[in-house]
A = this chain, B = another copy of it.
């Protein structure tokens, strides 16, 4: 592998000058610059980013710990994060973390000495948070937050849960099921609380058999759906804790010949790009902002990295309804 020393020898200058040609070309005279550039091209020299990282203590690399891509929310955010970071000159190391391999994922992220970490996989009560703060390396969580209430970008999850329940209630639904994720995750926890609040405000009875706070794997959601269909008095609507879950449930419904929304209304939360598609048209609650949470988070993270100020980011985006085609009035059905 050809190094800057080789270039220096080939051009008849010092390694220092080669370095200057690449980093501060203004400090080097035109003829020497040309000489060095010629050597660089002839040897097709490429600087070694690792060596540079070592001496500069700056890696130009960001570590992204995302949820799995079969969840369309992470499709949108991963895309936004990587594109923005690349534009700003950062490389992005990506890991798709499932909750089993959390600690392992953190370990690999840490030993790479990245400039910043952006993660969605944190739990409310995650001990990793204190470690991250100790390490004095900029980080931000998106979508989820830690109980410490620091360095996060989220939507107003409580309000989102509330609005989605309210929407179904105002359409006349009385028996509404909830299918969400684990309550150890702030996102689902707050959405669920919003849901409960709405049910309470509108004086609708709650029964445990309609409530599923489960692992969000495909199988588990499908299993929850089957439980629901087995019930004596089936709910007429389901509040899903996320668009990803809503899409899963709709798929399950179709497989059971249950027509959405005629037989069953389903509403999601997140307003993922996919939900706009003509074949989907998912009714959902999402951020009023055009920019997704990934974009907001990565732009904040890069600010933190470049300003060297460890100020604390706390962003909660307001939400609104997106009324599409997977929910309808209960009267029509009866």
| Interface residues of A, Cβ cutoff 8 Å to B | 1, 44, 46-51, 53-54, 57, 59, 61, 68-70, 75, 78-79, 82-83, 86, 91-96, 108, 110-113, 131, 134, 247, 250-251, 253-255, 273-274, 277-280
- Docked Cα-Cα span, A65 to B58, in Å, equals 23
Question: A250 CB to closest chain B CB, in angstroms?
Answer: 6
| Residues of B with C-beta under 8 A to A83 | 96
| Residues of B with C-beta under 8 A to A278 | 250-251, 253-255
Nearest B residue to A86 via CB reads B95
Could you list 6 further interchain pairs (A-B, Cβ under 8 angstroms) beyond the known A48-B54, A51-B54, A69-B78?
A44-B134, A69-B79, A79-B96, A82-B94, A91-B93, A251-B278
Count the copies: 2
| Residues of B with C-beta under 8 A to A108 | 86, 91
B94 to A92, Cβ gap below 8 A? yes
With beta carbons under 8 angstroms apart, the residue of B96, B254, B255 that contacts A82 is B96
Nearest B residue to A68 via CB reads B79
Question: A78 CB to closest chain B CB, in angstroms?
Answer: 6
B47 to A111, Cβ gap below 8 A? yes
Provide 25 A-B residue pairs closer than 8 Å at the C-beta atoms, listed in order of the A residue: A1-B57, A1-B113, A47-B111, A48-B113, A50-B51, A50-B112, A51-B54, A54-B54, A69-B75, A70-B79, A79-B96, A82-B96, A86-B108, A91-B93, A91-B95, A91-B108, A91-B112, A93-B93, A247-B279, A251-B278, A253-B278, A254-B278, A254-B279, A279-B279, A279-B280
